[in-house]
Structure 1
């Protein structure tokens, strides 16, 4: 089997650019990185599928082709395209929701994750008095960023 260098270099370039874009904090760039990695995977499946040949249908043949083409690679690529479109729609929905809530496309540091990582570095928390009632700032009232509307009588 002959392996051509150009498709392999193209696969490597698409993958490296896709990984670079995935490491950004901008959701649009993350989506573009997913597209690049998906296209690199599709090209890899096409190259790994082997040389072209006759169609895998009985009675049909191509000019001067001796072998039959492997239809599995093409089926895998079609499946990959469908999955990529589903993931892209999900990331676009996340991007739209993030932009509507924060008017920014960047993913910010989560305050709760920062607090938890700081506590993990400092060691276990001090003893908590179980007799003292714990108050939580969250209420059942609708907040500014709640996704669901308020009670039915408010509508």
Structure 2
């Protein structure tokens, strides 16, 4: 129940940030949404009541599924790379709230 509420809060917060006008807030919204997806993948592996996935001392029926854990690890690395690239674009980009008139070159806010 706590994990489902956590995923719901992260999805709601990530969607709110993603829909904002600022590029940096949108990047953070994507990062928060990816954390919610990671929680969903971890919940699929059911690590709470199962034991370590790759040990010889555990019955195979009681082992946790290592595939969702590998997916989450891969997703964390990809999210970090995408976040860094998008934050770089946000820093190098221009301010969306200002624009120049093509004819006169004046800046309007």
Matched, 1:34 2:17: no
5+ residue gaps, structure 1, are: 112-155
Instruction: Determine which of 8, 31, 46 is the counterpart of 1:12.
Output: 8
Q: Which residue of 2 aligns with 1:21?
A: 17
Moved over 3 A (4+): 107-111
**Greater helix fraction, Structure 1 or Structure 2:** 2
TM-score, scaled relative to structure 2: 0.77
Matched, 1:45 2:41: yes
1: CA distance, partners of 2:38 / 2:73: 9
Q: CA RMSD in A?
A: 2.4
Q: Which residue of 2 aligns with 1:91?
A: 86
Structure with larger Rg: 1
Instruction: Map residues 44-123 of structure 1 onto 2, 5 A cutoff.
Output: 44-51=40-47, 52-61=49-58, 67-98=62-93, 102=94, 104=95, 107-108=96-97
TM-score, scaled relative to structure 1: 0.56
Q: How many residues align?
A: 98
Deviation of residue 60 (structure 1)?
3.4
2: CA distance, partners of 1:56 / 1:84: 25
